[in-house]
Structure 1
Amino acid sequence: MSVEKVLVVDDDTLGREYLCETLTRGGYDIVSASDGQQAIARVGREGYDLIFLDMKMPGMCGMEVLEKVKAISPETVVILMTAYGTIETAVEAMKKGAYDYIIKPFSPDQIERLISRVNERQKLIIENKYWRANSNIDEKLNPVFSRNSRMSQIYEQIKKIAQSKASVLIQGESGTGKELVARAIHYHSHRCEKPFIRVNCAALAETLLESELFGHERGAYTGANSKRVGRFELANEGTLLLDEISEISPNIQAKLLRVLEEEEFERVGGEKTIKIDVRIVATTNRDLMDEIHKGTFREDLFYRLNVVPIHLPSLRERREDIPLLVDYYLKKYSIENDAIVKSVDKETLDYLCQYNWPGNVRELKNVIQRSVVMGSSEVLQREQFTGLFIHQDLKQTESTLTAGKAIEDVEKDLIYNTLEKTGGNKTKAAELLKITTRTLRNKLNRYDAESKSSQEREIISCVK
C-alpha cells in the first residue's frame, strides 16, 4: 500500500499552497484544511493515507488535532510541521502517535524522501499483518492450507474433538505436521488460554524423561539440588504433547498409564500426590500396533492414548497441496530474509510436484527456505534447486551412470557426484553412500593414485 490521498493542514495560506503544489506534482490526491476543526471534520468524513499537520494554529494546536485524528483513524500516518522545533516537542509528538516531525522551511526533495519512508513503513505493516494472520492459520490448520479431501476431514475432526478432553494419538511419517495438528487441537479448545507444553520423548534417557514429565524433589537423586516442577504440572488445565511416544521405556509407560487413568502422580523422590487436569496428545511416526506385537509398547497404554486416532497422509499422498505450500513458504521466507524471490516458474513447480518428498512438509519447507536465501532472481527456476534433493538426485545419478559402465567406474562417479553435492564434506557423503568415512578416504586415495585425468585430479584436490 502506498500513499495516495493526503490532507494538508496549515493556517498559513502560502505554506499550505506550497506544500499542496509540491504534492500535486508528485501525483498525490491532495485535500487541504486551514484549521484543526476543519481537518477533524474531514478525517471524520473521509479516509487519508497521510496528513501533514502544522503544529501552531489558532484555536486548536497541532498536538490536540493529532490526538483527535488518531482516535478517529489510528492507521492514518501523521507528520507534524513546525518552524519552532525542539527535542521535547518531537518526543511528545511521537508518544501521541505522530510518525515523524519536520522543520519548516523544507524542500520538495525532503517531502519526497519522507513519503518514500512512509510507503516502506506501510508496506511492512501490511506484510506483517498478513503473515501474522497466516501464521495463525498455519498454527490452527485452517483448511485454506489444503485442497486434499483427507486433510479437510482431519480439519473437521479437529474442530469436533477440540472441546473434549479425550486423548488423541496422531500418527504419520516424520515431517507431516503432527505437532501442528496437536497445536491446532489446543488452540481450538477451551484450553487455548492455558499452557501448551511439549516434551520430546525420544530426546531424553529414561531417568531424565521421568524427571522431565513428573518433576522431582530435592535430593531425589545425585545432582537433584533443588525441587523441579515437571511438564505435567506445567501443563495443568492445558495440553501436554508427548512427541514420539513410541520411544519411552516400559517403566515410563507404566507410570504414564497410571497418570492417564487416575489423573494424579508423585514427583520423583516425593510422597505428595499431585492432582492434575491435562489434555494428552501423543504423536509417533511408527505403527504402534507393530510395536505392541514386538512387545515394546503396552497395549493398555495404546488404547488409553488412542481414544481419538488421527493419521496424517504423507505429502506425496496430497500432491495437490504442493503448489499451495510452495507459494506460502516462498512468501514467508522472502519477507523474513528480505529476499527478492517472489515465485517459481511453471516447469519448476511441476518438478517440485513430481518429487516424492520423503521428508514431507518439513523437507519442502527447508528446500524452499534454502532456495529463497540462495536465490538471485525474482522467479526461481529448476536449476536453482539442483543439489537440494539429495535422495532423488543420488538415485537418478546412479541410474544414469550404470548404463554401459563397469561397476568400479559407476562407484567412482557416484562418489565424486556425492562429494560435489555435499560441497566436499566427506562425513556427509559417507552417510549418503552408506559407507564409513574411513572407507571413503581409502577409495579416494586409490582413485588419486590411479587417476589419469586432470579433471579427476582437480575434483580430488577440491574435496581433500
Structure 2
Amino acid sequence: MTKETLLIVDDEEDLLQLLKRSLEPDLGCEVKVASSGGEALNVLEREPVDLLLVDMKMPEMNGLELLEQVRAGYPWLTVVMMTAHGCIELAVQAIRMGAYDFITKPFDHETLVLSLNKALERSRLLRENLNLQRHVQMHEAFQNLVGKSARMQRVYEAIQMVAKTDLTVLITGESGTGKDLACRAIHALSQRRSNPFVAVNCPAIPENILESELFGYRKGAFTHATQNRTGLFQEAHKGTIFLDEIGDISPNIQAKLLRVLQEKVIKPLGDTKSVSVDVRVVASTNRDLGDRIRRGEFREDLFYRLNVLPIVMPSLRERPEDIPLLVNHLIEKHCAALNRPRKSVAPELTEIFLRAPWPGNVRELENVIVRGLLFAPRDEILPEDVGFHRPVKGRIPGKDAPSTNVPYKDAKEEALRGFHAEYFGGVLTATRGNVSHAAKLCGLERQALQQLLRRYGIRSDAYRTN
C-alpha cells in the first residue's frame, strides 16, 4: 500500500526539518517540505499529496493566498493552517475559506500529531468517497455498452483514455454498433459531464436547414427568420456536441465545421460577427471516409481534424461471445419498458443468434428481442416467434449444406423452409412487416406472398415495430 503524503509549507527551514524528522515516524507517512507557496504549488502539480500543513505568515505568498489557490485547483485536498497566538482572527478566516483545522504556535507535539491524524483520516474518507463516485460514474457511463469480449475491453479502455482529454474524437463502425452510446460514455466520464450534451443526427436534417441548426441565425437572415435563434453549437457551450453520421454532410457544412474545429468560433447566418464557443466535438460515421476523400466527397483536412482520437466500434459478428450478455440485457431493458413479464430465449434460438450475420448489429438484435417479447405466447421465445426457422441438428437451413441423415424429400422441404424464412424475414424486416411493400420488393402479388407466408408459418406481424 502506498504511503500517505504530508506536505509542510513554511519559510523557516529549521522548523521544516524538525517537523519532518518528528512527524514521519509518529504519523507513519511520507513528509515533504516546501519553503514557499510557489514551491508548494509546484509539488502539488508533480505528485499526489494527502494533507497540507501551511504556515499562515510567509513572504511573497501568505498562507491564505496559498489556501485560496489550493481550494481552486485541488478542492478535495485537506489543509491545516499553522498560526501564532495573535492571529486567531486569520485562522477563523482560513476555516471559512475551506481549511480543515488550525494549530497555534508554539504547539505541543502530541496535540499536533493528534490533529494531523484526524486530518489524514478525513483525507482517507474523501479519497474513498471520490473512488466510489468514480466507480458509480463508470458504471453509469458504460451501463448501456454491454460486452466482456477483448474487442469491447479495448473500447472501454479507449473511452476512459479519451474522456480525460478535451480533444476531438471520431467514432467509426457499422450502423447499430453503439457509436452514440460510446459518445455518451465519453461525455459522462469527462470534466464536461455536468454541462450540456447535444446530439445531432446530421443525415436526418436537410442541408439547407442543417447549417442554421448548427450555427444559428439572426433575424432577417432568410425568409421566415422572424427572430434570432441560437444554434446547437452555442447550446452545447462548455459541454459536448455529438455529430452523428458526419460522413454524410455536404462540402459547404464541412468547410464551416473545419473553421469551428480550427478557430473555436461560429458565425450565425446573417451575422457579421463570429461567436466563440467552448465545445468538445465527438463525431461518428459508418462510412469509409478514406474512400469518400478519394472520391472528393469529404475534405481531407476535416478528416484529420476529426480523427485526433479514433475509436472503432466492433460489429456483432466480431464479438459473438457477447451475444448472450446482450440478449439478457435487452430482455431486462424492454420487459421493464413494455411492462411485460420476463421471458427467456430458447437454446435453439440462441444458436441461431450466435451464427447469424447481424448486418444491423446490436440494433437489429434489439428489434428481434422486442418482437419476441411482444409476440411469443409462452415464457420462452422460440425461433418461429421472431421469424427464424428452427435449426436442424445444429445447422441453420439455407446457410449450411443439407443434412444427409434425412430423406431427400424432407431435406428439400427443410431447405425451402429455411430459404423462405431467411428471404421473407429480410424483406419483412426492411418493410417493418408491411406485406404490400414486401410484395412489391419481391415482385409478387400480395395474395401470392400471403399464401407463401402462411405455408411456411411466417408471421408478418412479428416484424411490425409500431
Q: Does the aligned pair in 2 maintain the 1:218–1:227 contact within 8 Å?
A: yes
Alpha-carbon distance, 1:228 to partner: 1.0
- Aligned counterparts of 1:157 and 1:419: Cα–Cα separation in 2: 37
Q: Which residue does 1:396 correspond to in 2?
A: 398
Q: Please name the residue that 2:348 is paired with.
A: 347
Superposed counterparts of 1:320-359, under 5 Å:
320-359=321-360
CA contact (8 A) 1:176 1:360 kept: yes
Aligned to 2:364: 363
The verdict on how the C-alpha distance between 1:458 and 1:152 changes in structure 2, with shifts beyond 3 A counting, is closer
Corresponding residue for residue 91 of structure 1: none
Please give the alpha-carbon distance, in whole angstroms, between the structure 2 residues aligned to 1:273 and 1:176.
Answer: 37
Structure 1 length normalisation: TM-score?
A: 0.58
Residues 458 and 336 of structure 1: CA distance in aligned 2, closer, same or farther (over 3 Å): closer
- TM-score normalised by L of structure 2: 0.58
**Runs of 5+ unmatched residues, structure 1:** 1-134, 405-409, 434-438, 449-454
For residues 329-383 of structure 1, what are the alpha-carbon distances to aligned partners after superposition, in whole Å with 9 as ceiling and x for unaligned? 1122222223233322322222211111110001111111111122222222333
Output one character per residue of 1:38-91: Cα deviation in whole Å (capped at 9) or x when no partner: xxxxxxxxxxxxxxxxxxxxxxxxxxxxxxxxxxxxxxxxxxxxxxxxxxxxxx
Is 1:428–2:434 an aligned residue pair?
no
The alpha-carbon deviation at position 302 of structure 1 amounts to 0.1
1:46 equivalent in structure 2: none
Percent of aligned pairs with the same amino acid: 43
Partner in structure 2 of residue 172 of structure 1: 173
Give the deviation of 1:196 after TM superposition.
0.5
Please list, as runs of the form range in 1=range in 2, the aligned pairs for 1:60-459 lying within 5 A after superposition.
140-141=141-142, 145-387=146-388, 396=398, 418=424, 422=428, 425-431=435-441, 433=442, 440-441=444-445
Q: Distance in 1 between matches of 2:168 and 2:381?
A: 43
Q: Which amino acid counterpart does residue 249 of structure 2 have in structure 1? A: I
Structure 2 residue matching 1:396: 3-state secondary structure: coil
Structure 1 residues 168 and 395: CA distance shift in structure 2, 3 A: farther
Deviations 1:20-45 (A, max 9, x none): xxxxxxxxxxxxxxxxxxxxxxxxxx
Cα deviation, 1:236-282, whole Å, max 9, x if unaligned, reads 00000011101111111111101110001110011122101000000
Structure 1's 191 and 370: CA in aligned 2 closer, same or farther, altered over 3 A?
same
| Length, aligned pairs only | 303
Classify the secondary structure of the residue corresponding to 2:310.
strand
TM-aligned CA distance change 1:456 to 1:186, over 3 Å: closer
Deviation, 1:328, is: 0.9
SS at match of 2:204: coil
Query: Contact conserved, 1:139 with 1:183, CA < 8 A, in 2?
Result: no
**Structure 1 residues 416 and 353: CA distance shift in structure 2, 3 A:** closer
CA 399–320 in structure 1, closer or farther in 2 if over 3 Å, else same: closer
Looking at structure 2, the residues matched to 338 and 228 of structure 1 have their Cα atoms a distance apart, in angstroms, of 40
In structure 2, relative to structure 1, the CA distance for the partners of 1:265 and 1:344 (3 Å cut) is same
Q: 1:397 Cα deviation (Å)?
A: 9.7
Answer whether contact 1:343 1:378 (CA < 8 A) is retained: yes
Secondary structure, aligned partner of 2:203: coil
Matches within 5 A, 1:30-49: none
Cα deviation digits, residues 109-165 of structure 1 (max 9, x gap)? xxxxxxxxxxxxxxxxxxxxxxxxxx9878622598212112101101111110211
Shift of the 339–137 alpha-carbon distance from structure 1 to 2, 3 Å rule, reads: farther
Preserved contact between residue 195 and residue 238 of structure 1 (Cα < 8 Å) = yes
| Residue deviations 1:374-405 (CA, integer Å, cap 9, x gap) | 2222222333222599xxxx9939999xx99x
3-state SS of paired residue (1:372): helix
| Cα deviation digits, residues 381-430 of structure 1 (max 9, x gap) | 333222599xxxx9939999xx99xxxxx9xx969983998467121343
- Distance in 2 between residues matched to 1:144 and 1:154, nearest whole Å: 10
Q: Secondary structure at the match of 1:198?
A: strand
| Alpha carbons 1:398, 1:414 under 8 Å: kept | no
Residues 357, 363 of structure 1: 8 Å contact kept? yes
Separation in structure 2 between the aligned mates of residue 276 and residue 208 of structure 1, nearest angstrom? 20
Deviations 1:188-235 (A, max 9, x none): 001001000011111122220100100001111111111111010000
RMSD: 3.8
Residue 124 of structure 2 is matched in structure 1 by: none
1:347, 1:458 → 2: CA distance?
A: 22
Q: 1:375 to 1:265 in 2, by over 3 A?
A: same
> How far apart are the structure 2 equivalents of 1:204 and 1:420?
28
The answer on whether the counterparts of 2:137 and 2:188 sit within 8 Å (CA) in structure 1 is no
Letter matched to residue 418 of structure 1: F
SS of the residue corresponding to residue 160 of structure 1 reads helix
Q: Is the 8 A contact 1:418 1:429 kept in 2?
A: no
**Which letter does structure 2 place at the counterpart of 1:223?**
H
Q: Secondary structure at the match of 1:258?
A: helix
SS of alignment partner, residue 377 of structure 1:
coil
CA contact (8 A) 2:138 2:189 kept: no
Residue type matched to 1:396 in 2? G
CA distance in 2, matches of 1:428, 1:248: 31
In the superposition, relative to structure 1, how do residues 397 and 430 fare at CA in structure 2: closer, same or farther (>3 Å)? farther
Say whether the 8 Å CA contact 1:419–1:425 is kept in structure 2.
Answer: no
Query: Is the 8 Å Cα contact of residues 419 and 429 (structure 1) preserved in structure 2?
Result: no
> How far apart are the structure 1 equivalents of 2:357 and 2:336?
27
Any idea what the Cα deviations from partners look like across 1:286-345, whole Å, max 9, x if unmatched?
A: 111111001000000000000001111100100010000001111222222232333223
**Greater mean alpha carbon deviation, residues 338-347 or residues 233-242:** 338-347
Distance 1:395 1:295, change over 3 A: farther
How far apart, CA to CA, are the structure 2 residues paired with 1:304 and 1:246? Answer: 13
Residue 184 of structure 1 aligns with an amino acid whose one-letter code is A
CA contact (8 A) 1:397 1:414 kept: no
> Could you tell me whether the CA contact under 8 Å between 1:211 and 1:230 is conserved in 2?
yes
Take 1:210 and 1:335, find their aligned partners in 2: how far apart are those partners? 39
1-structure distance, mates of 2:173, 2:302: 19
Structure 1 328/398 Cα, relative in aligned 2: closer, same or farther at 3 Å?
A: closer
Q: Distance in 2 between matches of 1:174 and 1:356?
A: 13
Task: Classify 1:141/1:214 alpha carbon distance in 2 versus 1 (closer, same or farther; 3 Å).
Answer: same
Q: CA, structure 1 residues 440+377, in 2 after alignment: closer, same or farther (shift >3 Å)?
A: closer
Query: Which segment is superposed worse, 136-145 or 359-368?
Result: 136-145
Structure-2 separation of matches of 1:343 and 1:148: 22
